[in-house]
Structure 1
Amino acid sequence: MNLARLLLRSAQTAGARPAVLLGITQLHDYAGLAQRAAALAGALRDRLGLQPGERVGLFTHNHPAVLEILFGCWWAGLAVVPVNPKLHPREAHYILAHSGASAAFIGGDIGGGLGDAALPLPELRALIDIDSAGYAALLQAGRIDAPLERAPGDLAWLFYTSGTTGHPKGVMLTHRNLLTMTLCYFSDVDTVRPQDSALYAAPMSHGAGLYCLPHVLAAARHVVPESRGFDPAEILALGRRLRGISMFAAPTMVRRLVEHAAAAGEHGAGLKTIVYGGGPMYLEDIRRALQVLGPRFVQIYGQGESPMTITALARAHFSDTAHPQHLERLASVGVAQSAVEVRIVDGDGHALPPQSTGEVIVRGDSVMAGYWRDAAATAQALREGWLHTGDVGSLDGDGFLTLRDRSKDVIISGGSNIYPREVEEVLLRHPAVAEVSVIGRRDAEWGEVVVAFIVARPGAVLESTALDALCQQHIARFKRPKEYHFVDALPKNHYGKVLKTELRARLAATAPPA
C-alpha cells in the first residue's frame, strides 16, 4: 500500500486532466505531475542516496511544488515531515533533528536559518530550496517507474504537534491512516468531481495539505493562490473564475471570508464546499456564515493523532433547519465518521451514557501508530486500542458530539495550536521574570489570543517590549502574547498549581461589554 499509487492511477486514467494551477494558470496535468513525482523519487534515491523509510522535511509556505514533493517522497518509499511555515527556525530545527530527517525542502523566503552553524543537523544530507536551479535539476533525474511497495503500517507523514509538556511530539501517520482519511472524505465530508478544485489557502503542512489525497484520487484540480495564502478577495475571485472550489479553513478564516463577502455584496459564487475545523466555531458565527454564503459548509473535528477523522457535521445537517435540535447540532461537531468509533468516558475509562460529559476517545484505522521515539507518551495516549484525545465533550442520543472544554490548555489562534507551556518557558528565560502563566482569551478575529500573567522578581522592572523581543528570538510570531498582565502573585491551589480558571475569570471580569 503506497499513497503514491493514487497519483499513478489518476495519471493512467485521466492523464490529460488539469492537475496543478497557480491561480488560474495551469502548470501541470496529471500525467505531468506523476512524471515529476517519479523523477523526484529517482533523484532522492539515486542522487541523494535516501532509502525507503527515511524522513524528508518540508518547510515552506504554500507552493505548487508541495504536491510533487509529497508524492515524490511517497513514490520513493520515504516519509514526509511537514513543518508549519510560521514556526521559528529554532523550532523547525528541533523537528528536523528529532525526526532524523535525511533531507529537507525549504521555500525561498523561509528556512534559511536552518543552515546556521550553531544549529547542526548531523543527519541532514541535503537542504534544497524549491525555487533554486538545484531543485530543477533533481526533476531531470531518471524516474522510478512505479511507487515502491510499502506496508499499510509504514510511516507516511510525521506530523509534529506541540505538547503541553515542552517539546512537540511526532505523530506517526501511516499509509493506512491517510488512506482511511481519504475514504472518509468521500463518505462523510464531500463528493469530488473531476471539474472541482481543491484550493490551498490554509497551510499545506496541515490538514489542508492532506486533503490533496481525495482530490488526487478523483483527478480533480489543485489550486495554489498566487498570494500563497489566505486572501478573501482572491478566494472569491477564484471561485467566480474556476467554479467548483473546495477548501479547508480555520474558523477565523471563515469569519474573515464572510465579512469580506458581506461587505462586497457577494455570496460565494463558485465556492462549492468550505470545510472548517481546527478551533472553536461559535454558534453566532456559523449562523452568520450561513446567512451570507448559504449551505456550503461542512465541519470536521480531528486531531493530528486522527487527522480530520473523528466527527463530521455534514452539509445536510446545516440545511435541515426544520429539525427541532437544529441549533444544538450547529453548535456540535457532528457525528462519528464512518471508519471510527467515538465514546465519552469517565476518568477510569468507563463509557458514559448520552448527555454525560467526559473525555472524548476514538478508535479506528485513522488513529496514529504512536509518537515518534516516545514510548511513554504513546502509552498514555493509546490505551486498549483507543486514542484518548484530552478533549472533554458529550454525545447526545443521536450521536452528535459537542465539545465542552479542552482538558489540555491548548490555545487555538487563527487555526494554529499554541500550548501555554512553550510560551511560558521562553518568558521564564528573562532574568527578571519570577513566575508566568499563559492562557487564551476569546477574540472575535482570531478565535483566541495569547495572554501572559507575569510576576516580576523583587525589585525588578519589566516591560512588555523586552518580553516581546525575547519571544521573537525563540518562538514563532503567532505564539507571542498579545497582552501582558503584571501581577504581584499568581493564584494557586493548596498543591501549588496555578489556577488558570481564576486567571480566565479575571480576564472575563475586565473585558469590555459586548
Structure 2
Amino acid sequence: MNMSEWLVRTARRVPDAPALLSGENVAASYSEFAANAARIGGLLRTRHKVEPGDRVAIFMKNSTAYLELLYGVWFAGAVAVPINAKLHPREAAFIVEDSGSKVLFVSGAEELHSLLASTCTVHDIEAEPTFAAEGAAIAAPEPRAPDDLAWLFYTSGTTGKPKGVMLTNANLHAMTYAYFVDVDDVLAEDAAVYAAPLSHGAGLYNFMHVLRGSRHVVPLSGGFDAVELSALVPRLGNVTMFAAPTMISRWLTTARETGYSGEGLRTIVYGGGPMYQADIEAAVAHFGPRFVQIYGQGECPMTITSLSRSDIIDRAHPRWRERLASVGPAQSCVSVRVVDADGAEQPPSEIGEIVVSGAPVMKGYWNNPDATAQSIKDGWLWTGDIGTLDEDGYLTLRDRSKDVIISGGTNIYPREVEEALLMHPAVSEVSVIGRPNAQWGEEVVAVIVASTDRPPNPEELDAHCRSLIAGFKRPRAYFFETALPKNNYGKVLKTELRKNVSGL
C-alpha cells in the first residue's frame, strides 16, 4: 500500500482539522495538505516524467513544505531520498548521483547545482515557492506493493562512502504499527513537534500522527532551540516529539534557568545516541514521567527495542538501575539476539554483537549487494553494536563495534573524516576518535602524524575539512604524535588513543 493513502483517508475523515503548523500558525488543514501533495505528485509525473520507483531527493531544512514534498513523492509512486540538511554540498551531490534521483528539491544550496554531473532536475523552493500550484493533482496515489521501495535513507559506513538503506512500504508499515504497541499511543489532539531533522528519525515518526489526524508542527527556527520550545510547547499542548539525548540535556539546562517544567509536553521519545543514567534521572525529576526510549538504526528504523515510560520511572524493581541503563526489551515486530562471532546465541549477560530480524529490517543496501551480504545473514541484521541481554530480555548497549561517533544525536563515521584529512599534503597518518562532551555526548578529535617537520596548524586543517565534508563532522581538537599506537597486524589501537585524549 502506498504510504500517501494514509493521508488521503485522514483528509476525508477530518478535512478541516489543522495539519501543518509553522510555530503556532496553521499552514494547511488536512484537506489542503492532501491536495498539495496530490499536486506535487502531478507535477512530478507530468513535468518531470517521474515513474513509479524513480527516486526524488530532498535536501532541505525542516519546514511544512518538507512534509508536503514527501507525500507528493509517494503520491507519484516514487521513492523519497531525504538528505541531511547539515551535509556538505559535495556529500549531498554524491547521494543524489548514487541514488540516481531524477528530481532534487532544495532550499537555496546554490553550490550543489554545480556539483551535479547528472541530468537531475533541481527545484529550488525558495526561488519557486508556488511550484506546487502548477501541477494537475493526481486523482489517487499510485498503487504500490509491500516490497516496493518508499524511503531511501543514506547512512555512512566504515568504508567512508554513504550507503543507501532500502526501506519498503512494508518496512515502514511495521515500524508505524509497532509505535502504537511498543512506544506510545497517538491522539487526535496531539501536536508532533519536529525539532530534530525530518530527514531522519523525526521524519519517520510522521506516519503515526498522519494516521490519527494530529498536528504537525515545525518550530519557526526550523530546528531545536530550547528557549523557543519552552515558550511554544505550553501554547500548543499535548506535544510529542523525537529528540536526541543531547537535546534533552540542553533543554533541561535551559528549563532550570527559566523555570519551565514541562507544561504542554505529553511524550518525548529519545534515541539516536547514548543517554547517561544520571541525565535521564535528572530529566524525569524535572519534566516528569514523559519519556520513552527507543533503539534502532537506519537498517531497522526505530524498531529494535524500547524502554517504556513505566520502566523509566520505576524505582521499585530490584534491578531498576540496570533497567534504566538499558534500551529495553525487543519491540513486538522483531526478534533480538546477542551472538558471538560465529552467530551462536550468547547466554544472559554475556557480551556479543546485537542481531535483529523481523518485518522492519531493510530490504538491503542500494546497488551494494556485497555490503548487504555482510550485514544480513540468514535473515538476521548484524547491527555492528555490542551489547548484553539480561534474563528478562532487556538489552544494554556496551560499545559500538564500528567506531561510530554520535555527536548531538548524529552519526559521524571516523573513516570519512580520516579520508578528508589524509588529502592534506602535511598529514601522513591520522586516526579520528570520539571524546566525551557534556553538551553533545561526544565530539570529534583527530590524532595526526605529520608528513613534514612543521605540523599543519588547527586553523589550516579546519579550513581543509570544511572544504570537503560537513562542518559538524570536522574535528574539534587536533593532537600531533610521532607515531600512532598499533597492534602486531598494523591496526591502529583506538582504545589506546581514547585513553590518551579523554582527559585533554
Task: Choose from 242, 246, 251 the match for 1:248.
Answer: 242
Contact in 2 for aligned 1:100/1:123 (Cα 8 Å): no
Identify unmatched segments of 5+ residues in structure 1.
Answer: none
Task: Choose from 109, 112, 122 the match for 2:110.
Answer: 112
1:162-177 correspondence runs (5 A) = 162-177=156-171
- Equivalent residue number for residue 363 of structure 2: 369
> For the residues of structure 2 that align with 1:504 and 1:170, how far apart are their CA atoms?
30
Contact in 1 for aligned 2:44/2:50 (Cα 8 Å): yes
Identity of aligned residues (%): 56
- Equivalent residue number for residue 97 of structure 1: 97
- Equivalent residue number for residue 72 of structure 2: 72
SS at match of 2:303: strand
1:408 aligns with 2:434: no
Residue identity matched to 2:425: P
Task: Choose from 178, 187, 195 the match for 1:184.
Answer: 178
Identify unmatched segments of 5+ residues in structure 2.
Answer: none
SS at match of 2:161: strand
1:190-269 correspondence runs (5 A) = 190-269=184-263
Contact in 2 for aligned 1:273/1:297 (Cα 8 Å): yes
Range with greater deviation from structure 2 (454-463 or 232-241): 454-463
- Equivalent residue number for residue 20 of structure 2: 20
> For the residues of structure 2 that align with 1:299 and 1:323, how far apart are their CA atoms?
18
SS at match of 2:252: helix
1:44 aligns with 2:38: no
Contact in 2 for aligned 1:84/1:205 (Cα 8 Å): yes
Contact in 1 for aligned 2:125/2:131 (Cα 8 Å): no
Per-residue deviation, residues 309-343 of structure 1 (Å, max 9, x unmatched): 10001111112221111111111011111101100
TM-score, reference length from structure 2: 0.99
Residue identity matched to 2:343: G
- Equivalent residue number for residue 313 of structure 1: 307
Pairwise CA RMSD: 1.0
Contact in 2 for aligned 1:344/1:352 (Cα 8 Å): yes
Contact in 2 for aligned 1:101/1:123 (Cα 8 Å): no
Per-residue deviation, residues 148-187 of structure 1 (Å, max 9, x unmatched): 1101011111010011112110000011111111111111
TM-score, reference length from structure 1: 0.97
1:409-428 correspondence runs (5 A) = 409-428=403-422
Structure 1 residues 458 and 324 mapped into 2: Cα distance closer, same or farther (>3 Å)?
Answer: same
> For the residues of structure 1 that align with 2:455 and 2:352, how far apart are their CA atoms?
44
Residue identity matched to 2:391: G
Residue identity matched to 1:291: A
1:290 aligns with 2:284: yes
C-alpha displacement at 1:115, in angstroms? 1.1
- Equivalent residue number for residue 121 of structure 1: 117
Contact in 2 for aligned 1:96/1:121 (Cα 8 Å): no
SS at match of 1:390: strand
Contact in 1 for aligned 2:36/2:132 (Cα 8 Å): no
C-alpha displacement at 1:48, in angstroms? 1.2
> For the residues of structure 2 that align with 1:141 and 1:368, how far apart are their CA atoms?
33
1:477 aligns with 2:471: yes
Contact in 2 for aligned 1:97/1:123 (Cα 8 Å): no
> For the residues of structure 1 that align with 2:435 and 2:133, how far apart are their CA atoms?
47
Residue identity matched to 2:204: L
SS at match of 2:134: coil
C-alpha displacement at 1:75, in angstroms? 0.8
- Equivalent residue number for residue 53 of structure 2: 53
Range with greater deviation from structure 2 (313-322 or 210-219): 313-322
Residue identity matched to 2:203: G
Task: Choose from 350, 365, 377 the match for 1:383.
Answer: 377
Contact in 2 for aligned 1:490/1:498 (Cα 8 Å): yes
Contact in 1 for aligned 2:284/2:313 (Cα 8 Å): no
1:155 aligns with 2:153: no
